[in-house]
Structure 1
Amino acid sequence: MLNRYPLWKTLLITLTVIIGFLYAAPNLYAPDPALQISGIKGRDVQLKTFERIKSKLDSQLEIKSASLDGGQALIRLNDLDSQTKAREIATELLGDQYTVALNMAQTTPAWLSAFGASPLNLGLDLRGGIYFLMEVDMRDLMKTTHEQMVLDFKTDLRKERIRYRSIRMANDGVDLKFRNEESLEKAITLLETNYRTTSFKQLKSDPLALRASMSPELLRQTKLEAVEQNITIIRSRVNELGVAEPDV
């Protein structure tokens, strides 16, 4: 049967198939069960620690290989059972200063990697992972902060024997009402000294009342501390699970 297509088209199709196979080939190589060990809070795994881990695992299990790169250790094992046991050994040896995560290490040959070929990266959901977005409820945070301000103001005023009518939360701060001008002036002096990042202003509707509100600087700092605290909690809980590629 005669070929009706020009030679250049046949060669182009053949070349396309070869290139496609070349870059799909890494998916034929099954990944190795592995341990990925990294230090918490940006700490690197030192060579001495790496050698200690490797020696301990090598004495109890058969490991394929172990490498230290970029401050992280990667230890390849033969099967999933060995991977689970190795994690228990490494976690007991290292304590809570390092994260020991289960991972699947690529086995792409070097000659394929030289062409830039790598296995297809599945989406996080297909790999058993999850994304989630958490935000701090600033309304509850402000309510809690104002409640604490009420308690602190009452404690300080009682300690200095400054009489007041009431101290209650308002929409955007805390309202303090006093019995007379003398108590008001003493309270202003005391509170402005003790709470330099809080703003105190007299209310136009009541000359014997103060409105205490957080300054922009204190508000920004409070929000930042709340976010950082939640990030720290999440990171510590994720590290306890031994997640391979956490991004908090």
Structure 2
Amino acid sequence: MKKIFAYLMLILFLISAIPSFFGEKPALVLNYSEDTILIDPLLHTLEENQLTPLSVENQQYETTLIFNSKSEQREAEKVLSVAFPSAHSHFSFVSAAPQLFSQLGLTPINLGLDLRGGVQFMLQVEVDDSVKGLIEATSINVRQQVRTEGLRSRITGSDQSGFSLLITQSERNETDSINRLMEQLRPQFSEWSISENGNTLHFVLDEKVQEEQASLAMQQTLNIMRQRIESLGITEAVTQRQGRDRILIELPGVQDPQVAKRVIGATATISFHTVVDSNQAAQIHNTRDGEPVRLSRQPVLTGEYITGASASMGEFGQPEVNLVLSGVGGNKMSDFSRSNIGKPMATLYSEYHQDHNNQLVQRHEVINMATIQSQLGSRFRITGIGQLSDAQDLALILRSGSLTVPVTIIDEQVIGPSLGEENIQKGLLAVVVGLALTFVSMLVLYRKFGVIACTALIANMVMIIGLLSLIPGATLTLPGIAGLVLTMGMAVDTNVLVFERIKEEMRAGRPLASAIPRGYKEARSTIIDANLTSLITAIILFAIGYGAVKGFAITLGIGLITSMFTGLLLSQMWMTKLWGNSNDKA
């Protein structure tokens, strides 16, 4: 039973490792939101430019063109972006292994940024702005509550921990009204410490709530970033939180970092407001032509209710974004538009950018203003966006979610594909040289035992590659290759310990047939203890490290587990099979 299990495991990992030996081919993926692109015009355009894809995979709203080289891939992207401007394109890689492996869900090892080339971003997330937003929203809600009590008020002070509200006028007995107001506010805003000083109410947000709000903003930003990366078609990206307010993003294989930078760093969002007259409280923003528009302070609807968005060309050749709202958002818009037919509504576009002092400021622009002609539902469109590319970017951002806090790219590193290929070649050379030297040493020192050690080492390498291919999210990096080379030496150590114990047993007068199981039994506890201590170190490195450290820890940890499997189980099976009946003595 033990033999069947061992060989099944070896065969499984061998099959899963096969796609990695075939490698990958560069591909160009075309996404389109509504209209399907016909394959014949696509291929005809490529033929006119002397480009022939190896194969074409066509799915709903997506076409994948597979090429023989990265130069053909880049040239095809330039040609098709001009011929089919409504399609969004991005670079990718597909397995070069037979289709059977892909149907079984087996793919090559994911290569990290340093091996494949790509781009790395470090983002600064202004998590404290989420606390400011909560304070601002609470102050608006409190003032509305004050107004329902027949009181008038104004904000006299606001900081990072709370705000102060001055009751300025009352239509009834002021003391009774304030007391009744306090009774209503305390259960409604239980996370706030509310105190009274004459006509002034002080609201202080609990520090624990502030940290929870900042942490929630960080988690939301992480999720939105992952959704944006997925919308770009990048499936092997690394998105990690770094400390309290930073995010590390690695995009292997991305050869056009500007596209990724434009989408990942975008802070754009939209909101819908009623247009109010001069008698009402308002915020004033300009249209693209510089015309000021008075908008309601509270939006009718914000970008958080948008679940779908696609860009297209409208009836008059103007780009537009078609929106789909959630059930709650659709009901809100329906109720509002039904009671405001004949009144104007504006679309406000907001985005953060850095000013000349490198300070983050929010820019607002009214991109669309129209009179509500009829009741709106969960689907409608907005215009006035600019170019088609602007509409496509806005649609992509709205689909993946609008950021609730500003984000800036504080560091950017680009690793070219040629450097990645050079790293792969050097890494493979290190592995091959390491294997060759190890083989020679084992064959010279242990001869026929050395053949078993070399065979077990090859099986160990195959199992590592197979496991890396099977584990979701596992990525092979340059430090990972270093871990692979280190694992080779540690795997041989297992065989060395066993072989030396077998030699000791034979020198004590035992025949080879009985010395083999005795040697493995005596060396087993030492080998397991040594590997477990190293495995604990690898787990710690994986848990607290990131980037290069994590890549090293993954291959080291996997290598330690597989080396025990091949060194203690497979090699003993083979030696017992070959020399289990031998009466040879030292």
Pairwise TM-score range, normalised by the shorter structure: 0.5 to 0.7
**In the alignment, which residue of structure 2 is the partner of 1:120?**
108
Contact 1:149 1:174 (8 Å CA) reproduced: no
Asked if 2 retains the 8 angstrom alpha-carbon contact of 1:150 and 1:169, the reply is no
Matches within 5 A, 1:22-171: 24-39=17-32, 43=33, 47-60=36-49, 61-69=51-59, 71-95=61-85, 98-110=87-99, 113=101, 116=104, 118=106, 120-125=108-113, 126-128=115-117, 137-144=126-133, 146=135, 167-169=156-158
Among 176, 181, 205, the alignment partner of 2:196 is 205
Superposed CA deviations along residues 51-110 of structure 1, whole A, max 9, x for unmatched, are: 443332233222222121354211012322111011112223343x54312122222224
Q: 165, 168, 182: which is aligned to 1:176? A: 165
The 5 A counterparts of 1:205-244 are: 205-211=196-202, 244=234
Please give the root-mean-square deviation of Cα atoms over the aligned residues, in Å.
5.7
**Aligned in 2, Cα 1:35/1:137: closer, same or farther, shift over 3 Å?**
same
> What per-residue deviation string (whole Å, max 9, x for no partner) do you get for residues 97-145 of structure 1?
54312122222224x6399594531343443457889795443222255
Q: Which amino acid counterpart does residue 140 of structure 1 have in structure 2?
A: D
Name the CA distance, whole Å, in 2 between partners of 1:76 and 1:131: 25
CA contact (8 A) 2:196 2:202 kept: no
Contact 1:36–1:100, Cα closer than 8 Å, also in 2: yes
Contact 1:184 1:208 survives alignment (8 Å): no
User: How many angstroms does 1:183 deviate by?
Assistant: 10
Residues of 2 paired with 1:62 and 1:55: CA distance? 10
Task: Report the Cα offset of residue 46 of structure 1.
Answer: 5.3
The C-alpha deviation readout for 1:136-182, integer Å capped at 9, x for no partner, is 544322225546887997xxx9xxxx686x61115653212245655
Whether the 8 Å CA contact 1:63–1:77 is kept in 2: the answer is yes
- Is the 8 Å Cα contact of residues 163 and 183 (structure 1) preserved in structure 2? no
**Letter of the aligned partner of 1:63 in structure 2?**
P
Q: CA, structure 1 residues 59+30, in 2 after alignment: closer, same or farther (shift >3 Å)?
A: farther
Deviation at 1:208, TM superposition (A): 0.7
Distance 2:119 2:168 in 1: 58
| Residues 22, 86 of structure 1: alpha-carbon distance in 2 compared, 3 angstrom cutoff | same
Structure 1 Cα separation of the partners of residues 38 and 216 of structure 2: 35
Equivalent AA in structure 2 for residue 66 of structure 1: V
Q: 1:227 to 1:184 in 2, by over 3 A?
A: farther
Task: Tell me, yes or no, if the aligned pair for 1:33 and 1:105 is still in contact at 8 Å.
Answer: yes
1 CA distance for matches of 2:225 and 2:216?
A: 14
Give the TM-score, by structure 2 length: 0.27
Structure-1 separation of matches of 2:137 and 2:28: 46
Cα distance change, pair 26–235 in 1 and its aligned pair in 2 (3 A): closer
Structure 1 unmatched ranges of 5 or more: 1-8, 189-197
Q: Could you tell me how far apart the structure 2 residues matched to 1:77 and 1:225 are?
A: 41
CA deviations over 1:198-233 (Å, ceiling 9, x no partner): 96x99653131234689xxxx99xx98997788768
Secondary structure of the 2:197 match is coil
Q: Kindly indicate whether the alpha-carbon contact (under 8 Å) linking 1:202 and 1:208 is maintained by their aligned counterparts in 2.
A: no
Query: Structure 1 residues 37 and 224, CA, compared in 2 at 3 Å: closer, same or farther?
Result: farther
Shift of 1:17: 8.9
